[in-house]
Amino acid sequence: MDFDLIIIGGGIVGAAAAYRAGQMGARTLLCDRRDAGRATDAGAGILAPESSTRDGRLWYDFALEAVGYYSVLIGDLAADGVPGEELSRAYGHCAKMIVALDDVEAAALAEMERTVYARQEERRPPPAESVRRISPKEARKVYYPLLADASAVLLQPTARRVDGRLMTAVLEHGLRARAVETSEFDVSTLLLEDGRVHGVRSACGDEYTAGAVLIAGGAWSTDFGAQLDVQIPVAPQRGQIIHLQLPGQDTGAWSIVMGFSDHYQVPWPGGRVAVGATRETGSGYAAHATVSGVREVLQEALRLAPGLRHAAIDDIRVGLRPYTSDHLPLLGAVPGVSGVYLATGHGPTGLTLGPFSAKLVVEQALEQPPARDLAPFSVARFLR
């Protein structure tokens, strides 16, 4: 047998999975063909589930654990020799604001607020800094000077942000430290015999055997469903995000800003602000920016923060998120076939959930009891 574990897909989920396998001492191969449009490279990286109410309680509880795992992961990578400067560029702390600009949005914010406060009361131990209302004046003066006149603002004082591209590069550094093998070949088929997956075959015909195979191919994970006789119900959802440059501005100290149309603004040090994003279900695998998408992103960015009107457009990124109809990921073993596992379907929250999801599935694949029950996230929920 060549490996203990082969991982298909090298975005943040696959890279984090390979790193965890390396930590566990498993002989690991990470296969990544580096598809254009992978979601990791274009994600916003907002790590702030405490003030999110969109995706329900199961997602919320899982997301709290997932965001908490980031501090463990960062510590492990530092211990494996990743320079602190690289880690601080990839991951950092900041505040987050949810901004209502008119009376309709203010009413929606008030409804959201009740759920957020109720969840805060339930948490043990309670959060050190609670989500709370602040005045629009304070929001502009302290947290985001370019903000529009607002009707109401909800502040999460302690949030986090992660740059998907940089975090994946950091994880790749960790893979080298853990002697994980990586390759850019295209996995064409799984090696399947008597109901068990025991490896992969490349497009060139080379075969690699393993005790287990983990599919973490994002929106491309569906490629293996027919061979497994299981539908892997993820679909590409295009997201367009624009990175702006504001020379001379201390953007690293600014807050994340969320509006009420699934749009956001994520500031980073060095005058960079990422604004987005579209959610284009039905886009297929067209990983290019569109006129309508760019217009949508910029219009909403200026509605939330008119002060951005003089910013330079530095980069336009497009990601194809692996979207599921119930907004929950697909994690764990595949029913009816042994030796194969899924870690995909995270949709627009892949950077939030991805590393923790990867950790749990790798532990299951390597026959270590995972720290959390994965049954609610099994692909079996779509097969009933």
Distance of alpha carbon 216 from alpha carbon 332, whole angstroms? 11
Banded pLDDT at 384 (limits 50, 70, 90): low
Average pLDDT over residues 324-332: 96
| pLDDT higher than 90, residue 103 | yes
Least confident of 132-136, 302-306, 329-333, 367-371: 367-371
Which tops the pLDDT comparison, 371 or 366?
A: 366
Q: How confident is the model at residue 160, as a pLDDT?
A: 96
Average pLDDT over residues 47-60: 91
Do residues 182 and 30 touch, judged by C-beta distance below 8 A? Answer: yes
Q: How confident is the model at residue 213, as a pLDDT?
A: 98
Do residues 173 and 22 touch, judged by C-beta distance below 8 A? Answer: no
CATH 1.10.3720.10 fits 3-41+166-233+326-382, yes or no: no
User: What residues have CB less than 8 Å from 15, skipping those under 6 apart?
Assistant: 30, 168, 171, 172, 175
pLDDT tens, position by position, 279-311: 999 999 999 999 999 999 999 999 999 999 999
Average pLDDT over residues 239-243: 97
Amino acid at the residue 324: T
DSSP 8-class letter at 278: -
pLDDT tens, position by position, 146-201: 999 999 999 999 999 999 999 999 999 999 999 999 999 999 999 999 999 999 99
Distance of alpha carbon 242 from alpha carbon 285, whole angstroms? 19
Q: How confident is the model at residue 371, as a pLDDT?
A: 84
* β-bridge mates for residue 154, sequence order: 98, 133
Q: ∠ CA(169), CA(172), CA(174), 5° rounding?
A: 120
Distance of alpha carbon 111 from alpha carbon 152, whole angstroms? 12
Fold adopted by 93-160+235-323: D-Amino Acid Oxidase; Chain A, domain 2 (3.30.9)
Q: How confident is the model at residue 224, as a pLDDT?
A: 94
Distance of alpha carbon 185 from alpha carbon 197, whole angstroms? 19
Banded pLDDT at 123 (limits 50, 70, 90): confident
Which tops the pLDDT comparison, 357 or 121?
A: 357
Coil, strand, or helix at residue 280? strand
pLDDT tens, position by position, 259-284: 998 899 999 999 999 999 999 999 99
Distance of alpha carbon 138 from alpha carbon 266, whole angstroms? 18
| pLDDT higher than 90, residue 115 | yes
Domain boundaries, the chain: 3-41+166-233+326-382, 93-160+235-323
Q: How confident is the model at residue 124, as a pLDDT?
A: 76
Distance of alpha carbon 333 from alpha carbon 374, whole angstroms? 9
| pLDDT higher than 70, residue 3 | yes
